[in-house]
Amino acid sequence: MAHLLQHCHDTGWLVLAIAMIQFYMQKGSHKGLYKSIQKTLKYFQTFALLELVHCLIGIVHTSMLVTGVQVSSRIFMVWFITQSIKQIQNEESVILFLVVWTVTEITRYSFYTFNLLNHLPYFIKWARYNLFIILYPVGAAGELLTIYAALPYVQKTGMYSLRLPNKYNVSFDYYYFLLIVMAFYIPLFPQLYFHMLRQRRKVLLGEVIVEKDD
């Protein structure tokens, strides 16, 4: 069952990669790309919630904290940013994080799949623990720039916000919530990045690293 789930997720991101390449080759522009792949993206990115279950039951031996932060942030980007604010879907920053996510997930799930089959080619292991060095900062930049681009629309429309007075006597401002989300990248991104650097040293260089329980 685990093999099947890993294969399905890997196949999903391959489908997305092919769709993005075909779109760009046909249109010669990134405008409209997000709209053309949004259904597939929403399905497979939401499907990633199963990763938390995999961590919990030990199918995938990785940090629950790191996986939780990564999965939740991506689902947030898909459902509460790019899907909800259609005016930003053609931003170059959206394409930036989409390309990064796609390459990262194809590499990562190929690694997990071949590892489960006990037949892991070295080039896949190398890609898994080297490509992130560039991809993770670029992806984070794409996400932050996309949220930043969304701020004027959120402020103007008041979307997802709750103003006083109301029957619940509670207020919530989505604009300031997004500012807080952006600020949280400062402490959270280094944790994810340095976790991967430690894993890289352990897997590729054979270092023995003792990590604290997350």
Q: What is the pLDDT of residue 214?
A: 40
Omega prior to 165 cis, within 30 of 0: yes
Q: What is the pLDDT of residue 197?
A: 94
pLDDT digits (tens, 9 = 90+) for 164-191: 888 889 999 999 999 999 999 999 999 8
Domain ranges of the chain: 2-205
Mean pLDDT, the chain, rounded, equals: 88
Amino acid at 14: L
**Which of 33-42, 51-60, 132-141, 186-195 is least confident?**
51-60
Q: How far apart are CA 96 and CA 93, in angstroms?
A: 5
- Give me the residue label for tokens 């070295």: 122
Look at residue 116 and tell me whether its pLDDT is greater than 90.
no
Q: What is the pLDDT of residue 16?
A: 94
Please tell me what DSSP assigns to residue 172: B
Can you state the angle between helices 64-76 and 33-47, rounded to 10 degrees? 150
Identify whether the C-beta of residue 137 lies closer than 8 Å to the C-beta of residue 192.
Answer: no
- The torsion angle over the Cα atoms of residues 105, 110, 115 and 120, rounded to 10 degrees, is -130
Which residues are catalytic, by number? 136, 143
Q: What is the pLDDT of residue 47?
A: 84
Q: What is the pLDDT of residue 112?
A: 82
Q: What average pLDDT score do residues 78-99 get?
A: 97
pLDDT confidence of 35, banded at 50, 70, 90?
very high
Please tell me what DSSP assigns to residue 31: T
**Count of CB atoms situated within 10 Å of the CB of 43:** 11
Alpha carbons within 13 angstroms on the beta-carbon side of residue 136 total 20
pLDDT confidence of 212, banded at 50, 70, 90?
very low
Q: What average pLDDT score do residues 126-147 get?
A: 97
Nearest to 31 by CA among 86, 107, 112, 109: 86
